[in-house]
Amino acid sequence: MKELTPRQAEILRQVTRLYIATGRPVGSKSLRRECGFSVSASTIRSELARLEEMGYLDHPHTSAGRVPTDHGYRFYVDSSGAGEGRRARCEIEPQALGDEIGDAIRYAAALLARTTGFLAMVSSPEQGDITIRHVEVLQLQPDLVTVVVITGSGGVARKLFVFDEPVDPGLVNWARGYLNDAVTGLYLGSRLLRLRLAEADLGPREREFIDAISPALLESPAGQGENLVMEGAPALLARLEAENGFRARDLVEMLERQDELLAILRSALVEYRVYLRIGSELPAAAMQRCSLVAANYGLAHRNLGTVGVLGPRRMDYPAVIGSVEATARCLSEFIEEIY
Residues 246 and 334 occupy one common structural domain: yes
Residues 49 and 96 in one domain: no
Nearest alpha carbon to residue 80 among 153, 20, 133: 20
Q: One-letter amino acid identity for 214?
A: S
In a domain, 33, yes or no: yes
Domain boundary among 202, 218, 234: 218
212 and 274 housed in the same domain: no
Mean pLDDT of 47-61: 91
Residues paired with residue 275 on neighbouring β-strands, in sequence order: 294
Residues 204 and 235 in one domain: no
Q: Which of 183, 199, 218 delimits the end of a domain?
A: 218
Let me know whether 180 and 152 are in one domain.
Answer: yes
- Same domain for 164 and 295, yes or no, is no
Q: What is the pLDDT of residues 181-240, one digit of tens each?
A: 999 988 777 778 888 998 889 999 999 999 999 998 887 554 444 478 899 988 888 888
- For 129-172, the pLDDT digits (tens) are 567 888 999 998 899 999 988 877 666 777 889 999 999 999 99
pLDDT at 237: 84
Per-residue pLDDT, averaged over 36-51, amounts to 87
Short-list 328, 236, 331, 222, CA closest to 275: 328
Q: What is the pLDDT of residue 122?
A: 93
Which residues are within 8 A (CB) of 193 and not within 5 positions of it... i.e. 6 or more apart?
132, 183, 186, 187, 217, 218
Do 236 and 329 sit in the same domain of this protein?
yes
CB contact burial 149-173 (16+ within 10 A = b; e otherwise): bbbbbbbbbbbebeeeeebeeebbe
Helix then strand count (H, E) for the chain reads: 13, 10
User: Which structural domain, as residue segments, surrounds residue 149?
Assistant: 132-218
Q: What pLDDT is stored for residue 339 in this prediction?
A: 55
CATH number at residue 56: 1.10.10.10
What is the per-residue pLDDT for 187?
77
Neighbours of 100 (CB within 10 A): 17
Note whether 275 and 146 are same-domain residues.
Answer: no
Mark which of 170, 188, 218 sits at the end of a domain.
Answer: 218
Q: What is the CATH number of the domain that holds 281?
A: 3.30.450.40
- pLDDT, tens digit, 9 for 90 and up, residues 230-289: 999 888 888 887 776 566 677 877 887 777 888 888 777 666 778 999 999 998 888 888
Laid out side by side, the sheet with 302-312 consists of 228-231, 119-123, 302-312, 290-299, 275-278
Torsion of CA 292, 296, 297, 301, to 10 degrees: 180
Tens digit of pLDDT for each residue in 2-23? 789 999 999 999 999 999 999 8
Exposure letters 111-134 (e unless 16+ CB within 10 A, then b): bbbebbbbbbbbbbbbbeebebbe
First to last CA, the chain: 48
d(CA 225, CA 18): 44
Q: How many domains does the chain have?
A: 3
Using alpha carbons only, how large is the chain's radius of gyration in Å?
A: 26
Do 21 and 48 sit in the same domain of this protein? yes
Same domain assignment for residues 240 and 205: no
Q: Looking at the chain, list the stretches that DSSP marks H as alpha helix, in order from N- to C-terminal side.
A: 6-22, 28-35, 41-53, 70-80, 101-116, 169-183, 191-199, 204-213, 215-218, 233-241, 248-256, 258-266, 317-338
User: Is 193 in the same domain as 49?
Assistant: no
Q: Evaluate if residue 60 carries a pLDDT over 90.
A: no
Strands 119-123 vs 67-68: parallel, antiparallel or unpaired: unpaired
Identify whether 257 is part of a domain: yes
**Is 1 a domain residue?**
no
